[in-house]
Copies of this chain bind each other. A is one copy, B any other.
Amino acid sequence: MYKQPFVSFIGSGNLAWHLAPALDNAGFSVREVYSRDSKNAKALVGKLYEGEEKKDLDFTDSKSTIFVIAVADDAIESVVQEIVLPGNAVLVHTSGSQPLSVLDYATTENSGVFYPLQTFSKNKKVDFKDIPIFVESESKEVEKLLKEMAKSISKKVIKIDSRQRKALHVAAVFASNFTNHMLSISNDLLKEYKLDSELLKPLIAETITKALAIGPDDAQTGPARRGDLELLDNHYAFLEENEEVAEIYKLVSQHILDRYHS
């Protein structure tokens, strides 16, 4: 009746919230969701066809084959220590930064990594089709299964090793979390001077469109790019009441200066 193996999720955070229903829809039926936060587990179960909440980490009697750990990085180890798996279980984690070896102490040798590279927030829909998924395993068989599961939801499936995955994750922090934080700082400034945050939206959209089209190095503009030291000092002084923001201004500007003017 079911062509694909059943899946169980450990975790109900931002990633699980989007990944579990996507896999469920694609035929990798998600049957169980365990979460320390039972309310979240129930909410996620509500998005599945035949899933139910699992109250503990003893999966001895589970009908699932694939167990997906989708918890915060610092909680993976304790899940690995506690979890009890059925025979032939495949255990994967979804972290960008944790090595495959973090699963070494689990009661299965069939372990792997299944890392979708995207920023997930519960209240923002995502389409997995264009999200690259990075898989890793020491077992050819597990690798094949993970690739199959990845291909069921994404057009872009890539095998990489743990070292590359960490570089990718750090790069993603700069490209996503830090760019987003620059936008937060920018919004704070607009608010402080009673300016509508809408005003910067065309600039932000064009900045990214341009960077993606011609590459960020050619796309760079602004005072540091031009080497306008007087203006940099002027801006730094303007920000002096907000010491941390001024420090970020100085450090990033210096780094841009070094890149283009040395």
A residues with CB within 8 A of B: 14, 72-74, 97, 117-121, 123-124, 126, 130-132, 156, 158, 160, 163-164, 166-187, 189-190, 192-195, 197, 199-208, 210-226, 228, 230-231, 234-235, 238-239, 244-245, 247-249, 251-252, 254-256, 258-259
Oligomeric state, in copies: 2
> Are A220's CB and B158's CB within 8 A?
no
> Are B251's CB and A195's CB within 8 A?
no
> Are A189's CB and B174's CB within 8 A?
yes
**Complexed CA–CA distance, A19 and B89 (Å):** 63
Contacts of A130 in B (CB 8 A): 202
Other-chain contact of A259, B175, B184, B251 (Cβ < 8 Å): B184
Contacts of A228 in B (CB 8 A): 72-74
> Are A118's CB and B214's CB within 8 A?
no
**Complexed CA–CA distance, A158 and B199 (Å):** 10
- When A164-B193, A181-B256 are in contact, do A170 and B239 touch as well, CB less than 8 Å? yes
> Are A170's CB and B183's CB within 8 A?
no
- When A124-B210, A164-B194, A174-B189 are in contact, do A216 and B117 touch as well, CB less than 8 Å? no
Residue of B nearest to A124 (CB): B210
Residue of B nearest to A213 (CB): B124
> Are B220's CB and A181's CB within 8 A?
yes
Sample 27 A-B pairs with CB under 8 A, ordered by A number. Answer: A74-B230, A117-B199, A117-B202, A121-B210, A123-B214, A126-B206, A163-B193, A168-B190, A168-B193, A168-B199, A171-B186, A172-B186, A172-B200, A172-B203, A177-B222, A177-B223, A179-B179, A179-B182, A180-B221, A181-B220, A181-B252, A181-B259, A184-B259, A187-B216, A205-B212, A248-B255, A251-B251
